[in-house]
Amino acid sequence: MKYFVVFQNKSYKEEHKFGILWAPKRDTNGGNPRFHWKSMTDVKKGDVIFSIIKNKVAARSIATEEAIDQPNPLKNEQWGKDGWLVRVNYDFAIQNVKISDHIEEIRDFLPKKYSPFNQATGTGNVGYLYSISNELGRMIDGYILNDYETASPDSVFTVDDETSEVIRHLFEEQGIEEGHIILIETERPNESNKPKTRRQYTLARKIDFIEKAKKDAKTGVLAEELVVAYEKEFLINQGKEDLAKRVKWVAKEADGYGYDVLSYSLDGSEKYIEVKATTLGISQPFDISANEIETAKNSNENYWIYRVYNMDSNERKFFKISGDIEKEFDLEPTSYKAYLKEKKLD
């Protein structure tokens, strides 16, 4: 998976509507394509593209296919007719992350040649689509999630039994079965992903919590299915077929265990695996419940966090951490339960 940034000051509205990126093959004089147009041919399925409008990140999209030859589908007649088109899924539209605010942090990660942003100011350079390093891509992902989670109070929404049943039928209709998708293990990041500063924003926008919950549930359930398949395959490859048969997807049956998957170490000891999934990158924080923290304390080294990321890509990856959650992570309270106080009668 690779990262790109695309400057869409004039074309964003149309391209977002059609779910595409489009760049010409020739300039207005019939000359060869510029490097930032030809970079369209470098995009592969699963790559991440950040849309930039007026120096702010307007969207994060995932490429669904490689570039194809396509005449200009836009009303804009500024360019020639022939061009390249990439179909993408635009994930959201928030414009709080301003690149120039982070130039001191990202400057060393900007390419020396064909940089999308000015090395000194962080403002965008002239051009359309630029490739960036995975390190810079993950940094931008971190900035996005910081604002996105501040603006999206997921914690006020819970999925009841009826909604869970609807989601279960949705997966049956899609024919999702165990073991169909590869999950790649990676090393745990050594550096902290806790933001150095947190700025609060107030956004005037509507959020469809039902649709968001369905999407989040889909991502989480699919990640759990991948972990179950991974654990079974790992144990079988190690000659532990008896243990592989005992791997159990407990969250599929009921909530409240404090973990999602029951698996086993090679010595036969139990592993209680809590699966945390995201469509974003390796450095994203996640929510964890009081029940999960308590289960981790009681289970000690038998408790595992499997952090699954890049769920929207064709290379879903994960890293794992075992032990007491409070020793391995910085925990930050993000919500409270509010109970009515007893009102004293005069």
Tokens of 53: 């409008």
Q: What percent of the chain has pLDDT over 70?
A: 75
Q: Is the pLDDT of residue 151 over 60?
A: no
The answer to whether residues 62 and 54 touch, using CB atoms and an 8 Å cutoff, is no
| Per-residue model confidence as pLDDT tens digits over 74-121 | 876 666 788 999 999 886 555 678 999 999 999 999 988 899 999 999
Q: Quick one: pLDDT band at residue 285, thresholds 50, 70, 90?
A: confident
Q: What percent of the chain has pLDDT over 90?
A: 36
Q: For the segment 26-38, what is each residue's pLDDT rounded down to a tens digit?
A: 876 767 788 999 9
Q: Where residue 241 falls among pLDDT bands split at 50, 70, 90?
A: very high
Name which residue leads in pLDDT, 89 or 243.
243
Kindly tell me the number of DSSP H helices and DSSP E strands found in the chain: 9, 12
Structure tokens at 346: 């005069």
Q: Which of 142-146, 195-199, 212-216 has the highest mean pLDDT?
A: 142-146
pLDDT score of 196:
55
Q: Is the pLDDT of residue 326 over 80?
A: yes
Q: What is the pLDDT of residue 274?
A: 94
Confidence of residue 163 (pLDDT cuts 50, 70, 90): very low
pLDDT the model gives residue 161: 53
Confidence at residue 155, expressed as pLDDT on a 0 to 100 scale: 31
What's the pLDDT score for residue 215? 67
**Strand ranges for the chain from DSSP E:** 3-7, 20-24, 48-53, 56-63, 68-69, 83-90, 129-132, 184-185, 261-264, 270-277, 303-309, 317-322
Q: Which residue has the higher pLDDT, 223 or 151?
A: 223
Domains present along the chain, CATH in parentheses:
3-151 (3.10.590.10), 156-328 (no CATH)
pLDDT at 258: 83
Q: Average pLDDT over the chain, rounded to whole? A: 80
Does residue 81 or residue 202 have the better pLDDT? Answer: 81
* Residue 176 in this model has a pLDDT that exceeds 50: no
3-state SS, residue 157: coil
User: Residue 4 — φ and ψ, nearest 5°?
Assistant: -140, 160
Q: Which of 119, 106, 104, 120 is nearest to 50 (CA)?
A: 106
